Amino acid sequence: MWTCPHCGRIFAKAKQSHTCQKIPLEQHFQDKPLAQELFEYLVARLNKDVGSSTVVSIPCCIHLFGQYDFLAALPKKDRLEVRFALNRVLKSARLKQSVPLSQTSYKNCLDIWSLNQIDPELIGWIKESYNLKQTPLTREPVLV
């Protein structure tokens, strides 16, 4: 794991390319009240049911960090797009896109249109992503 000395973000690879620029979280939700409601509810559910996380607001999107970056949220006028990595492709009609990040990792993307879509199935997938870079026996972070 590598921590950028300028912005404090944590990455799997040393000197990984990224932006250190942060923006106020509110900027992402300007004229997007539904996306803000969905995001706030999602974060509360994740902190309760998955584990603690830190919100990092950068120009392109909002990242959630546990031991590492496990979810990106992109607020839209009428929904909240979420992206998270898994070591498998999800088989679900809810999924809008799944793209390989590496030979063993896939970025899974879906849209959340209502609070009732933040359900046990979604929370389970995100929990899997939250724990992805931890070893199954120790649940300790894997140092890369």
pLDDT tens, residue by residue, 92-135? 999 999 999 888 899 999 999 999 999 999 999 999 999 987 64
Predicted confidence at residue 29, as pLDDT, reads 97
User: Is it the case that residue 136 has pLDDT exceeding 80?
Assistant: no
Q: Which long-range contacts (CB under 8 A, 24 or more apart) does 107-110 make?
A: 107/83, 108/83, 108/84, 109/81, 109/82, 109/83, 110/81, 110/82
State mean pLDDT over 71-79. Answer: 97
State mean pLDDT over 28-37. Answer: 97
Predicted confidence at residue 10, as pLDDT, reads 64
State mean pLDDT over 36-53. Answer: 96
DSSP string, the chain: -EE-TTT--EESSTT---------HHHHTTT-HHHHHHHHHHHHHHHHHT---EEEE-SS-EEEESSSEEEEEEEETTEEEEEEEESS----TTEEEEEESSSS-EEEEEEE-SGGGS-HHHHHHHHHHHTTTB-TTT-PBPP-
Cα–Cα distances (Å) from 98 to 26, 35, 54, 114, in that order, read 28, 22, 25, 21
Structural domains of the chain ordered from first start? 22-130 (3.30.1460)
